[in-house]
């Protein structure tokens, strides 16, 4: 079986974890947490970063920082993971779903402005597959209406929009280090704060609503409960694992990009006469090789292709189901039909993509997809 995903371990993770264990401090904001913070702030120029226990927690912190209240409205894509919107639903917000682009699963900027009302409190965008949304168009709308933007960059580490790192453009950026991502820590996430006004409160919210971080910096004589918050800090053991991965980011990214490129080169010619589409890469976006996917013509075609490849021990999978059609939200959805979101829900299929995937295995997968096209005569 060729698995869909396999977590990559460089080997130095255990060295760093042992160092953390022998340091005598394995709770949050230890030595390796600070090393990770420094890495991101120096490499990508992020104004302020805070490691969290997950990207979900980073999104929940963003919702608190924006001060989402019951009946506020938050615009977000329907084609995304539930964490993107659940963070705001937990605060009582109404989620206003936008459609995807016709040529990419990312949110369609043209949909956003018509969904804005006096109750709109935030715009959340998702950089699907690590490929940037049209951030110039989105930020122009957001700035004109004075609405904060949250970049869900869970899949978008080391990816850029016109040379600018994703996660650094909106008011906040959120990242994931789940084992399915390029850079992993098992679980784990990060909040990027791009507006100075939110930095102090972000530290308080992350420390259970206390000014404990300021206390340890010697800025206050004692710390106490000053705001709402929760325990969003990851253990320094998680940070130790993550830092080992970050030290090898160039190696990891180089291999993943080679795998992605092999898929594209092998399939681009073969699929040109078929009705299966390859990923679209806008000129403004870079490719961090998080995912390689195909878009079939119909749900039936995708089901057939998945069954065919799984019969050959190749584990391919579909992705999100449109959230506006979810069991939880469908009775509350009163917007227009989101035809492109539903199309990706029905037709998108993801191919195996992980560091240890060999190019020979990629060739095997591509050969079988090409054979399927010929045999089924699609």
Concatenating the DSSP letter of every residue in 63-91 gives HHHTT--TT-EEEEESSS-THHHHHHHTT
- Judge whether 92 and 72 are in contact, CB under 8 Å: yes
Give the pLDDT confidence of 8-27 residue by residue, as tens digits: 999 999 999 999 999 989 99
Provide the Cα torsion 294, 290, 321, 123; round to 10°. -120
Q: pLDDT tens digit string along 47-95? A: 999 999 999 999 999 999 999 999 999 999 999 999 999 999 999 999 9
What burial class does residue 1 get, using C-beta atoms within 10 Å of its C-beta: 0-12 exposed, 13-18 middle, 19+ buried? exposed
With a cut of 60, say whether residue 377 has pLDDT above it: no
Residues 309 and 295 sit within 8 Å (Cβ to Cβ): no
DSSP per-residue letters across 180-220: TSSS--SSBEEEEE-SGGGHHHHHHHHBTTB-HHHHHTTSS
Predicted confidence (pLDDT) at residue 325 exceeds the cutoff of 90: yes
Is residue 375 over pLDDT 80? no
**Residue 145, pLDDT score:** 98
The reported pLDDT for the residue numbered 242 is: 98
| 315: Cα within 13 Å, side-chain hemisphere | 9
pLDDT tops 90 at residue 214: no
Q: Could you read off the pLDDT of 88-140 as tens digits, one per residue?
A: 999 999 999 999 999 999 999 999 999 999 999 999 999 999 999 999 999 99
| C-beta of residue 243 within 8 angstroms of C-beta of residue 220 | no
Q: Assign 273 a pLDDT band (cuts: 50, 70, 90).
A: confident
- Residue 376 pLDDT > 80, yes or no? no
Predicted pLDDT at 305: 97
Looking at the predicted structure, is the pLDDT value of residue 196 above 90?
yes
pLDDT score, position 216: 81
Mean pLDDT on 137-162: 98
Average pLDDT over every residue of 301-309: 97
> Is domain 12-247 annotated with CATH 3.40.640.10?
yes
Specify the pLDDT at position 213.
Answer: 87
Task: Please choose, from the candidates 231, 247, 243, 173, the residue with its C-alpha nearest in 3D space to the C-alpha of residue 53.
Answer: 231
pLDDT of residue 222: 86
Q: Where do the domains of the chain lie? A: 12-247, 250-376
Mean pLDDT of 180-188: 97
Cα separation values, 44 from 47, 159, 165, Å: 9, 10, 6
Three-state secondary structure call for residue 272: coil
Report whether pLDDT(256) > 80. yes
- Residues contacting 326, CB < 8 A, separation 6+: 82
Q: Pick the residue with more confidence: 169 or 219?
A: 169
Q: Is 250-376 in CATH node 3.90.1150.10?
A: yes
Quick one: pLDDT at residue 378? 44
SS3 state of residue 354: coil
Residue 215 has pLDDT above 90, yes or no: no
Q: Provide the mean pLDDT of the chain.
A: 96
- Greater confidence, 376 or 272? 272
Q: Decide which of 223 and 166 is more confident.
A: 166
Identify the DSSP state of 125: E
């Amino acid at each position: 079986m060729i698995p869909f995903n396999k977590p990559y371990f460089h080997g130095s993770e255990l060295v760093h974890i042992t160092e953390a264990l022998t340091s005598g401090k394995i709770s949050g904001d230890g030595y390796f947490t600070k090393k990770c913070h420094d890495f991101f702030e120096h490499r990508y120029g992020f104004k302020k970063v805070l490691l969290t226990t997950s990207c979900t927690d980073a999104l929940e912190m963003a919702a608190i920082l924006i001060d989402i209240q019951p009946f506020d409205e938050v615009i977000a894509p329907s084609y995304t993971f539930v964490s993107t919107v659940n963070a705001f639903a937990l605060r009582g917000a109404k989620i206003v779903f936008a459609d995807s682009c016709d040529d990419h699963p990312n949110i369609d900027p043209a949909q956003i402005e018509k969904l804005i009302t006096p109750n709109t409190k935030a715009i959340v965008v998702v950089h699907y597959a690590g490929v940037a949304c049209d951030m110039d168009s989105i930020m122009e709308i957001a700035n004109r209406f004075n609405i904060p933007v949250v970049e869900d960059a869970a899949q978008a580490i080391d990816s850029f929009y016109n040379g600018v790192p994703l996660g650094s453009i909106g008011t906040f950026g959120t990242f994931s280090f789940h084992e399915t991502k390029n850079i992993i820590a098992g679980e784990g996430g990060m909040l990027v704060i791009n507006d100075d006004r939110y930095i102090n409160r972000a530290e308080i919210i992350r420390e259970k609503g206390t000014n404990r971080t300021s206390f340890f910096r010697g800025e206050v004589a004692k710390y106490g409960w000053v705001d709402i918050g929760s325990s969003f800090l990851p253990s320094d053991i998680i940070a130790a694992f993550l830092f080992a991965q970050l030290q090898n980011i160039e190696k990891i990214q180089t291999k993943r990009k080679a795998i992605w490129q092999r898929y594209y080169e092998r399939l681009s010619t073969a699929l040109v006469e078929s009705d299966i589409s390859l990923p679209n890469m806008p000129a403004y976006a870079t490719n961090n090789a998080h995912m390689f996917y195909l878009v079939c013509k119909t749900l039936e075609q995708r089901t057939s292709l998945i069954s065919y490849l799984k019969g050959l021990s190749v584990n391919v999978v579909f992705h999100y189901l449109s959230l506006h059609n979810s069991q939880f939200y469908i009775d509350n959805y009163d917007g227009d039909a989101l035809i492109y979101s539903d199309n990706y829900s029905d037709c998108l299929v993801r191919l195996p993509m992980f560091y240890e995937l060999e190019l020979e295995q990629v060739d095997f997968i591509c050969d079988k997809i090409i054979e399927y096209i010929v045999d089924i005569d699609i």
